[in-house]
Structure 1
Amino acid sequence: YTSGSTGRPKGVAVSHRSAVRLLAAHRAGFVADAGGGPLRVALTASFSFDTSLEGVLLMADGHPLHLVDEETRRDPAALVEYVVEHGVDFLDVTPSYLRQLLPAGLLTDPRHHPRVLMLGGEALGPALWRELAALPDVAAYNFYGPTECTVDALACRIEAADRPLVGRPLPGVRAYVLDDRLRPVPPGVGGELYLAGEQLARGYAGRPALTAARFLADPYGPPGARMYRTGDVVRWSAEGELHFVGRADDQIKIRGFRVEPAEIEARITAHPDLAEAVVSLHQDGGRKRLAAYVVPAAGASAPSAAQLRAHLADGLPDYMVPAAFVTVPELPLTANGKVDRRRLPAPDWSAGADRAYRAPRTEAERLLAGIWAELLGVERVGADDNFFMLGGDSILSIQVVSRARAAGLALTPREVFRHPTVAELAAVTGTATQVAGAEPVEGEAALTPIQHWFLDPRPAHAEFFNQSVVVAAPAPVDQDALRRALTALWTHHDALRARFTLDGPGGEGGWSQHVSPADAPAPDLLEVCPLDPHHADRAEADLTAAAHAGFRLDGGPLLTARLFTTGGARPDRLLLAVHHLVVDGVSWRVLLEDLETAYRQAATGEPVRLPARTTSVKEWADRLRARTDRFAAQLDHWERTARHCAAPLPVDGDGTNTAADVGEVTVRLDAARTTALLREVPGVYRTRVDDVLLTALGRVLSDWSGHDTVAVGLEGHGREDRLFEDVDLSRTVGWFTSLYPVALAVPAADWGTALKSVKEQLRAVPERGLGYGVLRHLARDPRLTGAPEPAVSFNYLGRFDWTADGAALVGAVPGGLGGAEAPGTERAHLLDVVARVEDGRLEITWYHSRKRHHGATVTRLAEAMLDAVEDIVAHCARPGAGGRTPSDFPLARLDQTAVDRICGDGRAVADVYPLTPMQAGMLFHSLLDPDGRTYVNQVQLVLHGVTDPRLLAEAWQRTADANPALRTRLVWQDTPEPLQVVQHRAPVPVAHHDWSALPDERRAPELERLLAEDRDAGVDLAAAPLMRLTLIRLAEDRVRMVWTFHHVLLDGWSAAQVFDEVCERYAALAAGRGPEVPDRRPFAAYLRWLAAQDAGRAERHWRGVLAG
């Protein structure tokens, strides 16, 4: 019997034949490895645990079996004594139980220890793996298997390896790693494990439905074969071995991301001072947070929370770093030897629970700490506290930015994510400049380029072109509070008060936009719709269709809301529909955030106060119209691109192409590949997700059409507010989208070459496509006004996973962002390809006219694109895949060949940029010196109070990790100019000497010899880092440090700054606290500033000065 999720145990029907197959596998495996003779076996498992069958089978094969009573099992010291007294050779235990037996001397008792260990029942951590692999005279095995495959299905010998393995299938067992469509996944990509073969059980006794759900037809085995769906996520290695990733049903969702606790646990236990870890999800104050429970390794003390966060941050994204760390002497176990999560202590979430509190020092730090404390409901916030560790999320980050701006600090949400502590964020804040055009708008407002694109062709049903969301409320909705909230949105956001009219007789004068005053009487925006619970879905659909068809452009309002209630039979649902002329994807996030804020305030009787306004749509449109000349230099680019838009695509018919004709085909990437696409693929070639999708789409369209170059219409968010210093569009509601064509030439080569080519073509688009709409619709340049639209459009919407823990109204947005248009509306493209991530899976939908293309045609295209995406994901998972492109290093001015030569696969290189004139001069003189000593500096200091030289070396390494200049090497051969190459990591060479016992009279000559040898070694400018250390222990608390570095790396001021940081990092490591180091701008920022200077003007100035 095995446990069931309902609490009712499941009887697993296992045949004698399957049990005998398992015994045969053991006989040929670890028994043969141990010499083939009898083994004294101890049965330590409860009989309710399937692993107890192992001992019975071994007894049947002639091995003496010792039945260990429960009292002895629960006392590690007593069990070890039993093993010694009876000469037990074989133990079968869980990793958690073994962790308790090891300190009791199981493998170190000089009298006797087992020869063979079988581990199973739960995942084996890397620390225990390493410990067992190092044992010379114990054969340890890691076994994996569900009861449904007769206890054991996979196994491996625990030997040297980078990380724990699950192993290979036992003889007669077949293992498949499959995606959601039961297709094999490539090595390196996670998928669900399915088992088949002669050990498979018959099913669940008396549970035919459950048997059918878990025991499936085996599409890869002989006719009639079945396979068992384990629910475990694994991945193949390149060597054909399986690595355990986690349970498919253990995945949790936090901050919109799916998280595998086992992945975090594996990373935690990779720390040398930790033996075990368990990660769990907790609900605290309405917020989801991760807590980690850690057990120190034998003889070690647990690292501080700050040290663990730094350890995890090297390999995990911030949302996977636990908010609390709890040190426990051991993990509580169930009777079966598995971790009993119910007995783990509650974590302490308080801000200062796991680190020394450091009060904010500067005014900016104090302002930010106060804002965080208020928003997060925390009593006090220290300078080193992390916003996300205290429960912050992306929604709250917007409010941080808004309140900081109101307090006079300039911030962006991106900076909150990049600098998540108070001290880090305060260091990058500027003084908030006055935002232009933030005052309420009324009267006539110019149209944006995208509004012209829609209105200028005079669409027959202009009033019916909408976007919408459905909000699932977590509790019954306060209707009066909702009305107040909707009115606040209408008053606060100018675009929602807009109306559009055709001017002149018969509308000959064109379209104009008018905005009602903010203090005008607000319309009733909410209609409450009580529904019969038995017919709610159909009634909601009809009312939704009516809402979409009910807009009037000339009268408004262009926002409507319908609240669907069923008297408590299901949660209340709120439809929000807005005409697309006044809203886009970015706007919806702002609207939903403001709706939640306004509703929460209204429901508690507070005055409704929304975040500060940003630049209006009117101001933006006026700026673009006044500056069309700045885009004139892009005309040649857009004209060349537009020529490709006329190329025809194959069609199946010549019928109409209206909204009524639309058919759609949707394909989905499985969750494992989607995770790889979002988190792993971008780093391989420094691509964005849309680069990957467009590479796949371009290859498919090229193969289908026969054109080497294919035109695709793209959408950008259009909020390029960096064009104007005083413009901020981050919280402006309106339609800003930029539509523009690209001409993609996808090489018919390997995917790496194709990705790099498409990436560079997309990076070459000027101003992210904004200029195309300005030149075509505002400047009305005749070379573009008559250009045809591309036959295919592509839009990647990203994630629209709305997760708002503790929300009052906007609890979830099922289905994401939707839309509707009049059936007779003419479509702009033959094919519209829209990709988004929904519930952790990439969806690609192809919209087409059923009168132009058959469904089968579009299905083939959609599946071909999905196959291409899967191939790219697989390619990027292979060893050796990767590389950089010239756009990654704009200051270096390299071509692709040079980038490949300098960066290789790109994984080790962080940046490439030119030398300053002074550095170039130093390099020139250094290359003229055959001994390589020119500009080599040798600094020596005697440091008092340093008791641990290796900790000092670690402080140096962390300082190098934090400062790109200290990870730099130089390249000067086969490049147009000398370059600096910054490595992601550059181990600092350190030589350790202990002279504490060396007589004083010998120290001076020994030091002179050492310094001379160090000087004679010079510095290799082509190998990072351009420095090295010698640390000499002179006494218990005194160290002589010799720091040798090349002057091209640092000037005198910088060298002093580096040494100050090293001292602070050493002190922090010794005290177990976080370091207090300044947030420095990287050297590359100076080089970007230098490159932007007018060299000709400077030359003229200095020539004049020198001429007198």
Structure 2
Amino acid sequence: DIEAGSAVYKEPETEMETLLSDIWQDVLGLPQIGVSDNFFTLGGDSIKGIQMASRLNQHGFKLEMKDLFQHPTIEELVSYVERTEGEQADQGPVEGEAELTPIQRWFFEKDFTNKHHWNQSVMLHAADGFDPALVEKTLQVLTEHHDALRMVYREQKPYYRGLEDVSVDLEVMKLNGPAEDHEDRIEREADRLQSSITLEAGNLLKAGLFQAEDGDHLLLAIHHLVVDGVSWRILLEDFTAVYTQLKQGKEPMLPPKTHSVAEFAERLKEYADTKVFLKEVDYWKQLEEKEVCTQLPKDRQSSDQRMKYTKTIGFSLTAEQTELLTTKVHEAYHTEMNDILLTALGLALKEWTGRDTIGVHLEGHGREDILDGLNMTRTVGWFTSMYPMVLEMKHADDLAYQLKQMKENIRHIPNKGVGYGILRYVTAPEHKEDLSFSIEPDISFNYLGQFNEMSDSGLFTRSNMPSGQSLSPDTEKPNALDIVGFIENGQLTMTFAYHSLEFHEKTIQSFSDSFKAHLLKITDHCLAQDGPELTPSDLGDDDLTLDELDKLMEIL
């Protein structure tokens, strides 16, 4: 038997086991996966789970994410895979008016200065160059297929334009010599493109192709209202597929569409006032009753909150440290990445603030399975969920207990926090009189998962040329400190974007150092454990506490 992941390798036997094994290998980038290997200790996370479900869907099967979390091996999971019975989304173009999603409502409520310039962007590098005609045709195919890319916003209402109204905004700029000789010009042009989007008129996607002697650099800037982290993975994968098909002289073919953002927002309106959903109110009400520290100790106060004063520092772990953190570390307590990262964050925050209960804004992908028969695994749009969490750090001196406590607290958040925005922005006022939505932490945290769409394609890599400012320098920074984590090229990077009129760099640097030290300490602690230890959520018992389980284990 061959060792793979943590379990002894067991070969897939049935067709479904083989299909799942092939999909896992593809999504996790591993050469061999057996039916007893654990998805999460192989480096899987919830976003990889979405990608897996999307691949499965293309074969005519569906899987609910909660089943993957509860049964993370192929041999357990196989009985939860179902055929998709006539649930395929309408493949025609979505047109006309639509509703806003909760996160889009948040965006308009904030009334940011210069809200047209609020993008997410990526700059790709192709050493062999891009063919401008093929790039334009590829973007046209993506815009026709992914309905959100045809959206405009008229008086804060989303409107899908028809196929006949859409063209592609691609500018081609020739540079003499290598790209780095023209870094200033690239930055200027990229800034101009990033700031050229208008919400009422569209297009909400702008592209700039910089042709240089040492390869081409392609900037894709898309307004955040229609795209998020999961969307980018879909778009980069589809860009590669269509560009390659066109290059080979083939008719472009993409997998079937999943349900649109328009359907999601429409269904959410009904769901937001159902008895089943309103059970969540109690959880958020209890959270609001806690004594919570939401303010960070600032070095000075400032009323000027503009983005232009944002500075960013960060650190990366080595490839070896990252691999342990995405695989072996989770064997001790059946954890996921956020359990580990948030424990490290809590320990560092406790050190900085001197407080035991600290509020943070968490961001999640927001594509939870809450609406029956709706599938958003291949839908481009802005689904992000944003919700408060209280990090309870009373057991900081007992790392094992603290980790298990954090894991349990995260598992108790209903539907991974997606309901908070629904309650706040969609539920009728009479159904949420008990809630004040008053927890407003200074700090936000978002783990984006692993990005290997770049390296997998072979077509392009991430460019090191400046891609311009995604957000207007005059727009307001929503949080005093934003912490973002992601894995690229096998390394975990954590970035800390802070408001430089409020914090000295050395303050944030020492906080970043503390976070890293705690992360490595947790890694060592988990690797030193003898065998796996279960917590109540592993047993599917929501009412059992950690202490009660420990007592039970002593009796057994």
* Distance change in 2, residues 1:315/1:818 (3 Å): farther
Q: Does 1:447 align with 2:103?
A: no
Q: Does 1:564 align with 2:219?
A: no
- Determine if contact 1:661/1:851 at 8 Å carries over to the other structure: yes
Q: Does 1:480 align with 2:133?
A: yes
Q: Which of these residues, 655, 662, 686, is aligned with residue 334 of structure 2?
A: 686
State the partner residue of 1:587: 231
State the partner residue of 1:824: 474
* Distance change in 2, residues 1:723/1:540 (3 Å): same
Task: Choose 524-533 or 681-690, whichever is displaced more.
Answer: 524-533
- Determine if contact 1:789/1:828 at 8 Å carries over to the other structure: no
State the partner residue of 1:773: 421
Q: Distance in 2 between matches of 1:589 and 1:646?
A: 35
Q: Distance in 1 between matches of 2:94 and 2:138?
A: 20
Q: Distance in 1 between matches of 2:259 and 2:542?
A: 36
Q: Does 1:311 align with 2:2?
A: yes
State the partner residue of 2:300: 653
Q: TM-score, normalised by structure 1?
A: 0.43
1:403 Cα deviation from its structure 2 partner: 4.2
- Determine if contact 1:464/1:579 at 8 Å carries over to the other structure: yes
- Determine if contact 1:776/1:785 at 8 Å carries over to the other structure: no
State the partner residue of 1:852: 502
Deviations 1:996-1027 (A, max 9, x none): xxxxxxxxxxxxxxxxxxxxxxxxxxxxxxxx
- Determine if contact 1:559/1:579 at 8 Å carries over to the other structure: yes
- Tell me which protein shows more helix as a share of its residues: 2
Matches within 5 A, 1:248-647: 310-313=1-4, 315=6, 401=56, 403-405=58-60, 409-410=61-62, 428-436=81-89, 439-473=92-126, 475-502=128-155, 511-517=156-162, 519-534=163-178, 535-566=181-212, 569-630=213-274, 631-642=277-288, 647=294
Deviations 1:933-970 (A, max 9, x none): xxxxxxxxxxxxxxxxxxxxxxxxxxxxxxxxxxxxxx
SS in 2 for 1:556: coil
State the partner residue of 1:799: 450
One-letter amino acid of the counterpart of residue 710, structure 1? I
SS in 2 for 1:729: coil
Q: Which of these residues, 319, 334, 349, is aligned with residue 671 of structure 1?
A: 319
Q: Does 1:756 align with 2:404?
A: yes
Q: Distance in 2 between matches of 1:476 and 1:420?
A: 41
* Distance change in 2, residues 1:540/1:858 (3 Å): same
- Determine if contact 1:404/1:411 at 8 Å carries over to the other structure: no
1:766 Cα deviation from its structure 2 partner: 0.9
* Distance change in 2, residues 1:752/1:426 (3 Å): closer
One-letter amino acid of the counterpart of residue 465, structure 1? W
- Determine if contact 1:434/1:726 at 8 Å carries over to the other structure: yes
Matches within 5 A, 1:166-245: none
Deviations 1:378-437 (A, max 9, x none): xxxxxx9xxxxxxxx9899788535423xxx4468998x98889xx97994524441356
* Distance change in 2, residues 1:892/1:645 (3 Å): closer
Deviations 1:536-557 (A, max 9, x none): 3332222221111111011000
1:533 Cα deviation from its structure 2 partner: 2.3
Structure 1, gaps ≥5 residues long: 1-309, 322-354, 376-383, 385-392, 503-510, 905-972, 975-1108
- Determine if contact 2:388/2:439 at 8 Å carries over to the other structure: no
State the partner residue of 1:1021: none
1:474 Cα deviation from its structure 2 partner: 5.1
Alignment root-mean-square deviation, CA:
3.5
Q: TM-score, normalised by structure 2?
A: 0.84
One-letter amino acid of the counterpart of residue 597, structure 1? A
One-letter amino acid of the counterpart of residue 202, structure 2? G
Q: Does 1:867 align with 2:517?
A: yes
1:755 Cα deviation from its structure 2 partner: 0.5
Deviations 1:761-795 (A, max 9, x none): 11111111111101111125465566252111111
* Distance change in 2, residues 1:486/1:686 (3 Å): same
Q: Does 1:897 align with 2:547?
A: yes
One-letter amino acid of the counterpart of residue 778, structure 1? V
- Determine if contact 2:173/2:209 at 8 Å carries over to the other structure: yes
SS in 1 for 2:208: strand
Q: Distance in 2 between matches of 1:818 and 1:751?
A: 42
* Distance change in 2, residues 1:402/1:896 (3 Å): closer
Q: Percent identity?
A: 33
State the partner residue of 2:362: 714
Deviations 1:488-533 (A, max 9, x none): 111111111111122xxxxxxxx2111102x224213221111122
Q: Distance in 2 between matches of 1:640 and 1:575?
A: 45
Higher RCO, 1 vs 2 (CA within 8 Å, ≥6 residues apart): 2
SS in 2 for 1:572: strand
* Distance change in 2, residues 1:842/1:313 (3 Å): closer
State the partner residue of 1:103: none
State the partner residue of 1:742: 389
SS in 2 for 1:543: helix
1:603 Cα deviation from its structure 2 partner: 1.8
Q: Distance in 1 between matches of 2:237 and 2:164?
A: 24
1:676 Cα deviation from its structure 2 partner: 1.6
SS in 1 for 2:202: coil
One-letter amino acid of the counterpart of residue 466, structure 1? N
Q: Distance in 1 between matches of 2:469 and 2:78?
A: 38
One-letter amino acid of the counterpart of residue 842, structure 1? L
Q: Distance in 1 between matches of 2:79 and 2:270?
A: 36
- Determine if contact 1:410/1:432 at 8 Å carries over to the other structure: no
Q: Distance in 1 between matches of 2:531 and 2:8?
A: 22
State the partner residue of 2:461: 812
Q: Distance in 2 between matches of 1:714 and 1:848?
A: 16
Structure 2, gaps ≥5 residues long: 27-34, 36-43
* Distance change in 2, residues 1:822/1:642 (3 Å): farther
1:902 Cα deviation from its structure 2 partner: 5.7
SS in 2 for 1:537: helix
* Distance change in 2, residues 1:732/1:645 (3 Å): farther
Q: Distance in 2 between matches of 1:903 and 1:686?
A: 17
SS in 2 for 1:723: coil
Q: Distance in 2 between matches of 1:833 and 1:803?
A: 23
SS in 2 for 1:435: coil
One-letter amino acid of the counterpart of residue 873, structure 1? T
Q: Distance in 2 between matches of 1:436 and 1:840?
A: 35
* Distance change in 2, residues 1:726/1:840 (3 Å): same
One-letter amino acid of the counterpart of residue 848, structure 1? Y
One-letter amino acid of the counterpart of residue 641, structure 1? L
SS in 1 for 2:485: strand
Q: Distance in 2 between matches of 1:484 and 1:819?
A: 26
Q: Distance in 1 between matches of 2:378 and 2:334?
A: 29
Q: Distance in 1 between matches of 2:125 and 2:295?
A: 44
Q: Distance in 2 between matches of 1:782 and 1:864?
A: 40
Deviations 1:55-74 (A, max 9, x none): xxxxxxxxxxxxxxxxxxxx
Q: Distance in 2 between matches of 1:789 and 1:427?
A: 39
Q: Does 1:790 align with 2:438?
A: no
* Distance change in 2, residues 1:365/1:718 (3 Å): closer
